Amino acid sequence: MSGSRSSGNGRPTIRDVAREAGVSIGTVSAVINERGQVAEETRRHVQRFIAELGFEPNNTARSLKSRRISSIGFVVPDLDNPFFAAVAEGVQRGIGDNDILLMLCITWSQTEREEYFARIMRTQRLDGVIYLTGTGLPSSSLLELARAGSVVFVDEVLPGMDVPFVSSNNLAGARAVARHVIDQGHRRIAIVGGPPRLWTSEQRLAGFRESLAAAAIDTDAAPYVAGDYSERSGYLAAERFLAGSRKHWPTAILCANDLMAIGVMRYCREHDVAVPSELSITGFDDIAAAELLQPALTTVAQPGLEMGRAAAELLLHRTGVRPEPPATTHFQTSVRIRNSVAAVVS
């Protein structure tokens, strides 16, 4: 149908639909919102005129009246990291039954992009935001966004912000995998940490060092490089650790995520360093590729998909859509012992 049947020059309104269908505005509203007792024949009749006029309901108004939400944002550093991709899938699964649009914002761990997206999401009046920082730095726009509406952090937390947080036990996982390496007789242990300022980096580094200290290994003397959670940063760290005479090399490298561990393994493959007989390697996250590597990677598993789903469910609870919060917002980690760690031969 042409736009000439609307009540003005703009988009068709609910009043236009009611007039053309010969029913009350209340009947049209009941059909749109799937509420009230409307005869099936009348419902189909109204739906036909909605389609003919090209009428689109005002989702914002509907959400205010029905305590439903129509759109949320998800801020994430990237989707190249399989763990972040798993969190994103979990968020989508968590909102999947609620007719909610997910706006994905990829920041590439850049401060200016995090600030930009926080500002845009505030002006767009989204119903809520799930936030996974890649910088560890709160922005003024994010502070305003948190004050104005519902924000939930997942995986990473920002200092000085009182915001609900979905996490895993990074500290215990890092402590346990380091203990496993030490139990295999390793004493010369190097660490590839995550980006400075990130909560996950701090927790994993603290866990590694706690196990080293418990074994009377000088943590200050343990070689350390801060990576950025990318495969390339792991490769460059291995290049640094494995320079010079082999007698000074570490016998094991603890990596703060699987991608950096894969980078270390790639360096070893290209430079004829045998894993694990000459160098043991561990990761963190347990991405799908970890068990497919040769050798399969010993790592710490954390449930990215479940964390994303819990973040979505927590946000829906805080906005009144779900009556109950998720069963947990703090997930346990566990060590997956595979073939990339070998016992030290005396």
- pLDDT tens track for 8-20: 546 788 888 989 9
Gap between the Cα atoms of 90 and 96, Å rounded? 10
Confidence of residue 2 (pLDDT cuts 50, 70, 90): very low
Please determine, for residue 102, whether its predicted confidence score (pLDDT) is greater than 60. Answer: yes
Query: Is pLDDT larger for residue 133 or for residue 321?
Result: 133
Residue 7, pLDDT score: 52
- Residue among 130, 127, 125, 106 nearest 117 (CA): 106
Share of the chain above pLDDT 70, in %: 92
Residue 36's pLDDT is 65
Identify the pLDDT of residue 332: 98
What confidence score (pLDDT) does residue 60 get?
Answer: 47
For position 238, what pLDDT does the model report? Answer: 98
Place of tokens 């215990």: 172
- 75, β-bridge pairs: 105, 131
Does residue 88 have a pLDDT over 50?
Answer: yes
- In this predicted structure, what is the pLDDT of residue 13? 85
Which one is predicted more confidently, 292 or 126?
Answer: 292
Q: Please say if the pLDDT value at position 221 is more than 90.
A: yes
Over residues 266-313, the pLDDT tens digits come to 999 999 999 999 999 999 999 999 999 999 999 999 999 999 999 999
Determine the pLDDT at residue 27.
86
Q: Of the candidates 166, 164, 120, 118, which has an alpha carbon nearest to the alpha carbon of residue 145?
A: 118
Please answer whether residues 136 and 195 qualify as being in contact, where contact means their C-beta atoms are separated by less than 8 angstroms: yes
Structure confidence at residue 66 as a pLDDT band (50, 70, 90): very low
Q: Say yes or no to pLDDT of 69 above 90.
A: no
* Angle (deg, nearest 10), helices 40-53 and 25-33: 90
The set of residues, in sequence order, having a beta carbon less than 8 Å from that of 14 and lying 6+ positions away, is 25, 28, 29, 32, 55, 57
Which residue shows structure tokens 């927590």?
Answer: 314
- Higher pLDDT pick, 225 / 30: 225
pTM of the model: 0.80
| pLDDT-based confidence at residue 205 (cuts at 50, 70, 90) | very high
Of residues 64 and 197, more confidently modeled:
197
| 99 confidence band (pLDDT: 50, 70, 90) | confident
Structure-token match 């968590």, residue found: 94
Q: In whole numbers, what is the pLDDT of the chain averaged over residues?
A: 91
Mean pLDDT confidence for 37-60: 81
